[in-house]
């Protein structure tokens, strides 16, 4: 069987299992095992022991449960409620009122959660009741929260970037810092859109005339200080080369415990809930990682990545047209495949081609995350849409109408980053390591 036939076969099998309702890790794992058997026979499965051990015996992956635990502590202790209320006093005067708070809140919470779902859930749970009480347009409210939640996997720390860096052996520290400027710019673009849209149609957001005293401003700023401190010690240590991402995650989790204890309501029961949630989410993600390593081993053993790279090179495509084709594929996949599934399915196949064409892996990692962001607010599998729907009880159509403008914004931003890669590479090129 030639490599092209094997390539088509694994894609068909994977999509068939996925469409049949099989969970992503099983679909990926079965596809990988099938590829190993086709290429090397049943005896070749003896290698799965070492592959399985190697996939989970990773210092880098330790950062995932630590970052999840950090976010869960802040969620369960109620610190995120205090954070949102403080932030709302500082930015509510902007055109769009609390809609601006949604984006700003998601941006800052993204810097400690590492997860799109956690960001959307944390801010959405606090924001939806206040938005409904003040008669904000439901579609705009849900759209801003679903789109704002996507920043959780772009602004560091990011679980998606940890997985990408693990599979490609790219510096996770550089990936984290590379996402900082794009994350801030995309957040400001979202806020600019809300400001313009609510100026043009004042029925979307009530005009809130509020007078915040100097004392109230100080109190609001004080509510943000714990988050700013947490961001500083996590990202500052990585950028200055003082800590690895895993060490920064451990320090951040330790600091989050004390912040939740001092500024929140961290009882023994809530601490137990945070641990239980961390274990459930981490096990789910790491199970996918295990299956992905089996799939990656099958791809490497069959030489599919190398063959694909050589074939793409032989076509004579320029870097621009290759990336345009790849981005189209990612945009379509994002509609039907989960974000983590996109990473673990495509990166082992695509990465050798990137190296062959001289594409910077740090830059590509950020662009890949931007496409994953797009997929998280795209029906039918846009997970952020369903998170916000569960909180708001709005119809799916209402939420999709609210998120549709953000599709255009993200696509335009991807084009900008493609033509101006310095937006991504400026900070990584100036890191201490």
C-alpha triplet 185, 186, 187: angle, nearest 5°: 90
Answer yes or no: is pLDDT of 209 > 60.
no
pLDDT in tens, 359-410: 899 999 999 888 888 877 877 667 788 888 888 888 888 888 999 999 899 9
pLDDT score at 281: 81
> Mean pLDDT of all residues in the chain?
81
Place of tokens 């274990």: 279
Q: How far is residue 174's CA from residue 193's CA, in Å, rounded to a whole number?
A: 30
pLDDT score at 266: 85
Q: How many CB atoms lie within 10 A of CB 268?
A: 7
Q: How far is residue 280's CA from residue 292's CA, in Å, rounded to a whole number?
A: 19
User: Under a CB-based contact definition with an 8 Å cutoff, are residues 283 and 64 in contact?
Assistant: no
pLDDT in tens, 27-72: 878 888 887 887 777 777 777 777 777 666 677 778 888 888 888 8
pLDDT score at 382: 72
Residue 303 or 287, more confident? 287
User: Under a CB-based contact definition with an 8 Å cutoff, are residues 176 and 161 in contact?
Assistant: yes
Domain locations in the chain? 28-430
Band of residue 337 on the pLDDT scale cut at 50, 70, 90: low
Q: How far is residue 343's CA from residue 232's CA, in Å, rounded to a whole number?
A: 28
pLDDT score at 2: 67
Residue 406 or 85, more confident? 406
Q: How far is residue 141's CA from residue 160's CA, in Å, rounded to a whole number?
A: 26
In this prediction the pTM is: 0.80
Q: Residue 99: which residues within 8 A CB-CB, separation 6 or more?
A: 131, 136, 140, 141, 144, 194, 198, 204, 205
Helices (H) and strands (E) in the chain, counts: 21, 0
Residue 109 or 418, more confident? 418
Percent of the chain predicted with pLDDT > 90: 13
Closest by CA position to 391, among listed 95, 111, 164, 119: 119
Band of residue 351 on the pLDDT scale cut at 50, 70, 90: confident
Band of residue 357 on the pLDDT scale cut at 50, 70, 90: confident
- Terminal C-alpha separation, the chain: 45
Q: How far is residue 373's CA from residue 351's CA, in Å, rounded to a whole number?
A: 20
User: Under a CB-based contact definition with an 8 Å cutoff, are residues 34 and 300 in contact?
Assistant: no
pLDDT score at 385: 84
- Token pair, residue 153, equals 């996997």
Q: How far is residue 48's CA from residue 70's CA, in Å, rounded to a whole number?
A: 33
Q: Which helix (H) or strand (E) holds 239?
A: helix 214-239
Q: How many CB atoms lie within 10 A of CB 169?
A: 10
Place of tokens 């409620």: 81
Q: Give the gyration radius of the chain's Cα atoms.
A: 22
Closest by CA position to 235, among listed 70, 414, 363, 423: 70
- Token pair, residue 112, equals 């400690």
Answer yes or no: is pLDDT of 94 > 80.
no
User: Under a CB-based contact definition with an 8 Å cutoff, are residues 173 and 407 in contact?
Assistant: no
Closest by CA position to 386, among listed 400, 372, 374: 400
Backbone φ/ψ region at 136: left (φ over 0), alpha (ψ -120 to 50), beta: beta
């Amino acid at each position: 069987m030639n490599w092209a036939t094997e390539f088509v076969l694994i894609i068909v099998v994977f999509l068939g299992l996925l469409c049949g309702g099989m969970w992503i890790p099983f679909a990926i794992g079965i596809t990988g095992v099938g590829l190993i058997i086709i290429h090397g026979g049943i005896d070749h499965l003896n290698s799965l022991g070492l592959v399985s051990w190697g996939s989970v015996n990773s210092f880098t992956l330790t950062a995932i449960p630590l970052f999840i635990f950090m976010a869960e502590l802040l969620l369960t202790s109620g610190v995120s409620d205090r954070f949102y209320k403080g932030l709302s006093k500082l930015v509510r005067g902007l055109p769009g009122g609390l809609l601006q708070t949604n984006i700003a809140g998601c941006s800052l919470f993204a810097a400690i959660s590492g997860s799109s779902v956690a960001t959307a859930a944390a801010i959405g749970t606090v924001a939806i009741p206040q938005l409904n009480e003040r008669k904000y347009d439901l579609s705009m409210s849900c759209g801003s929260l679903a789109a704002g939640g996507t920043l959780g996997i772009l602004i560091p720390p990011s679980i998606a970037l940890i997985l990408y860096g693990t599979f490609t052996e790219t510096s996770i520290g550089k990936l984290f810092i590379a996402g900082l400027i794009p994350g801030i710019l995309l957040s400001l673009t979202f806020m600019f859109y809300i400001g313009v849209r609510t100026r043009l149609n004042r029925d979307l957001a009530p005009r809130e005339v509020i007078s915040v005293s100097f004392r109230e401003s100080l109190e609001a700023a004080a509510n943000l200080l714990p988050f700013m401190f947490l961001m500083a010690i996590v990202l500052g240590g990585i950028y200055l080369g003082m800590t690895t991402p895993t060490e920064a995650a451990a320090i951040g989790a330790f600091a989050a415990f004390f912040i939740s204890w001092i500024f929140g309501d961290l009882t023994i029961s809530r601490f137990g809930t945070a641990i239980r949630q961390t274990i459930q989410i981490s096990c789910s993600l790491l199970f996918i990682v295990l299956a992905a390593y089996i799939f990656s081993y099958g791809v490497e053993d069959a030489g599919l990545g190398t063959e694909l790279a050589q074939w793409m090179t032989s076509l004579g495509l320029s870097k621009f047209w290759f990336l345009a084709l790849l981005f189209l594929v990612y945009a379509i996949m994002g509609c039907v495949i989960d974000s983590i599934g996109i990473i673990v399915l495509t990166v082992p196949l695509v990465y050798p081609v990137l190296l062959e064409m001289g594409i910077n892996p740090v830059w590509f990692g950020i662009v890949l995350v931007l496409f994953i962001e797009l997929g998280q607010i795209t029906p039918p599998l846009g997970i952020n849409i369903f998170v916000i729907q569960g909180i708001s009880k709005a119809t799916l159509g209402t939420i999709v109408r609210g998120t549709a403008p953000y599709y255009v914004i993200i696509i335009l931003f991807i084009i900008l980053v493609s033509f101006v890669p310095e937006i991504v590479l400026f900070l990584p090129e100036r890191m201490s390591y």
